[in-house]
Amino acid sequence: MENAVGEVQNVLLLGGRSEIGLAIVRKLLSPSARVVTLACRRPDEAAELTQSLSRTGLSVEAVSFDAADTAGHKGFLADVVARHGDIDVAILAFGILGDQQNFDEDPQSAVSAVHTNYTASVSAALCLASQFRQQGHGKLIVLSSVAGERVRKANFVYGSSKAGLDAFCQGLADSLEGSGASVLIVRPGFVHSAMTAGMKPAPFSTTPEVVANLTVKALNAGQRMVWTPGILRWLFMVLRHLPGPLWRRLPLG
């Protein structure tokens, strides 16, 4: 549980090797933080990350978590809570960007990506919401994307999965009203990270650290949604209403 001055003590990162997720964790940590759990598919490859976060009085562990195994989500979360107590903040940061051309050629790979990005995220978020209701508190940070605001032909499989997740989380936030729990939807634009390495940066591209700073600021302010960078909110107020023929001619891929 957060301490008397609202400082986070127990953080769970689903997608424990996510650069954006880790940047948010670092920004959240205060001297009173006591537990960070990095949930990832290959925890044996996260030793360097756990060491980089570790300090006196803070327990950091990497644990095995397969987002695609939705049947195991409830048990996984129960085990985390049993070992470490109430979760103050959970960050849902797993996902697959993928390649649209590969999705076109191999529809099964598209199905797998959508399952991870949407179906598995819905499962994990509902499990967390149930735990937060029992606790009477808890904050869920969900990494959405501006790609879901209006889906581009260059990545419409990925964009559609983020659009679904974004809509789901808006409804989940409404359902948690009055429970003591909350949801913050984060809509980053292009972020320079390992996931986007080699790709041409989009306008207003940013970094994991900038996303983290804006996310934690929004979390502390009790917001339900944050665009990173903020200018994208105003840009998409225009882009979402462009006629289809004009939208398709924009140099967005």
Residues forming the active site: 158
Specify whether the CB–CB gap between 206 and 215 falls below 8 A.
no
Biggest CA-to-CA distance, the chain: 58
CA geometry: angle at 164 spanning 218 and 152, to 5°? 95
Distance CA 68, CA 94 (A): 10
Q: Are strands 35-40 and 138-143 parallel, antiparallel or unpaired?
A: unpaired
- The closest alpha carbon to 65, from 129, 136, 1, 116, belongs to 116
Nearest to 211 by CA among 40, 32, 27, 42: 27
Q: Residue 182: which of 121, 117, 132, 119 has the closest Cα? A: 132
Q: Which pair of structure tokens corresponds to residue 129?
A: 């919401």
Q: What are the distances in angstroms from CA 23 to CA 78, 235, 240, 252? A: 25, 25, 29, 27
